[in-house]
Chain A
Amino acid sequence: AQKITQTQPGMFVQEKEAVTLDCTYDTSDPSYGLFWYKQPSSGEMIFLIYQGSYDQQNATEGRYSLNFQKARKSANLVISASQLGDSAMYFCAMRGDSSYKLIFGSGTRLLVRP
């Protein structure tokens, strides 16, 4: 069975600073994908970044980067230069090899302080 664990229910960060949101996963699939989504208070689910299990390099998308440590089964999201608009719920999710559905973690609520 696949599982995503996000151990930080809530986090604060000062505007313009960097923040790391933790995500660990468990799967027996040899190939899988890891995703991060942002959910603002308005409710929509916004795709941020993707990391494939066979990707050699950590994924980056603008201010978002994924610190992928396969041996530790972790896929932490790093947001650099935080902005007030980054305040939202962040979900880590995984897609396995045997099924294309996404399994989500419980989420981390990030609040950016001015």
Chain B
Amino acid sequence: AAGVIQSPRHLIKEKRETATLKCYPIPRHDTVYWYQQGPGQDPQFLISFYEKMQSDKGSIPDRFSAQQFSDYHSELNMSSLELGDSALYFCASSLGNFEGRGSTDTQYFGPGTRLTVL
């Protein structure tokens, strides 16, 4: 079965540089979530999109922005990178059901992008 695709898998950047992470959800999934997992930490929710509209926002720095495109893929743009941005960035997708409780809305995660800021 097709899974969530993330690219690149590894990324090394210098401080103050920019980075773009890409996510391709499971086919027919309409909701995308971004999470950040620091070393030894649990994943922290950043932002989500449902049908190309932002649906929820978590602890995402103002230096970061994200969007979901017409083909449902999503990009996380990160500017003015700091050492503390070094982390594993996950994208997850689900089949949203915001009008009822019929689906489990299980989020399936991609393999992650490991970002290292030097």
Chain A: interface residue count, which band? Answer: 20 to 34
Kindly state whether residue A45 has any CB partner on chain B within 8 Å: yes
Cβ of B14 within 8 Å of any chain A Cβ, yes or no, is no
* Contacting residue for B105 out of A91, A95, A105, CB 8 A: A95
Q: Does B64 contact A (CB under 8 A)?
A: no
The answer to whether residues A101 and B58 also contact, given A33-B105, A52-B104 and a CB cut-off of 8 A, is yes
B contacts with A, residue count (CB < 8 A): 28
A107 to B40, CA, bound (A): 9
Set of chain A residues within 8 Å of B43, measured between Cβ atoms: 45, 91, 102, 104
Q: How far is the CB of B81 from chain A (nearest CB, A)?
A: 20
Question: What's the nearest-Cβ distance from chain A to residue B2, in Å?
Answer: 15
The answer on a CB contact under 8 Å between B106 and A35 is: yes
A27 within 8 A of B: no
Given contacts A50-B104, A101-B56, 10 further A-B contacts (CB under 8 A): A31-B101, A37-B109, A43-B114, A44-B109, A47-B109, A91-B42, A91-B43, A100-B31, A100-B96, A101-B45
